Amino acid sequence: MNGIRSALSIERGDKVTRLEAFVDAAFAFAVTLLVISGDQIPASIAMLKEAMKQIPTYAASFAIIMQFWMNHADWSRRFGMEDAASERLSLLLVFMLLIFVYPLKMVFGSFFSLVSGGFLPAQFSISAWADVPVLFQTFAIGFGSMALITCLLFQRASTLGPGLGFSAEEIGYAKYKRLLWAMVVVFSVISFLLAAFIPAKPETGIWIGMPGFIFFGLNLVQLALRRRYYRTVLA
């Protein structure tokens, strides 16, 4: 067991490259786009209270973005791959991140506004029922695309690993991470299709939110995969 742990803790990419520094800076910039109070400093206690109501939206959006950043950092440290295809995938991840950041905030803003009965306000308005599936589909495209890119990064590590001298444990870890992110892609596609086919009208009721609710199921699937993987590793 100790041998497996030590093998999995190898950091091949122990030096920060220019590309990795750029990716880190892009993620940091994306986080600043989520700022609670927008482009204005609260000028009164009332404005401050309103700004604080954005904290749940900020926290949820921050958590999603950090998941992608931590996984890219994990991939970079463990495998240190600097081939052209991996670099392009990393740049594509940044590109999608900067497109995805605003729809991400919009989705969580509308969710917290809904569950709080409007106490936690969204910083945008939905003018028609037909706007709801568009919001979910935009989120699914962005989330699924970033997940696919992350999946492909770990796919390259698992595929090219034998030729690069990666251990069996390292290749197994790359395959495990690839599967985790593949599940995100699958659920994103399902979410997109649900948003396309569930009627966007008042009679639909709570079911109109199903394209978003299914991601709670994703958490359960990933938890099961994580537990299975670590049972295998630590056996």
Query: pLDDT tens-digit profile of 90-103?
Result: 999 999 999 888 88
Q: Determine the pLDDT at residue 211.
A: 87
Is residue 203's pLDDT more than 90? no
Mean pLDDT of the region 160-180: 91
pLDDT band of 2, cuts 50, 70, 90:
very low
119: helix, strand or coil? coil
Is residue 222's pLDDT more than 80? yes
Query: pLDDT tens-digit profile of 36-68?
Result: 555 566 667 877 787 788 888 889 899 999 999
Q: Determine the pLDDT at residue 20.
A: 87
Q: Determine the pLDDT at residue 174.
A: 94
Q: Determine the pLDDT at residue 193.
A: 95
Higher pLDDT, 164 or 221: 221
The C-alpha atoms of residue 223 and residue 180 are separated, in whole angstroms, by 9
pTM (two decimals): 0.85
What is the percent of the chain with per-residue pLDDT over 90, rounded to a whole number?
A: 42
The C-alpha atoms of residue 156 and residue 69 are separated, in whole angstroms, by 18
Q: Determine the pLDDT at residue 63.
A: 93
Is residue 74's pLDDT more than 90? yes
Cβ within 8 Å of residue 198, ≥6 positions away: 133, 204, 207, 208, 210, 211
pLDDT band of 9, cuts 50, 70, 90:
very low
181-212 burial: b if 16+ Cβ within 10 Å, else e: bbbbbebbebbbebbeebebeeeeeeebbebb
Query: pLDDT tens-digit profile of 116-168?
Result: 777 877 766 666 777 788 888 988 999 999 999 999 999 999 998 888 888 88
pLDDT band of 104, cuts 50, 70, 90:
confident
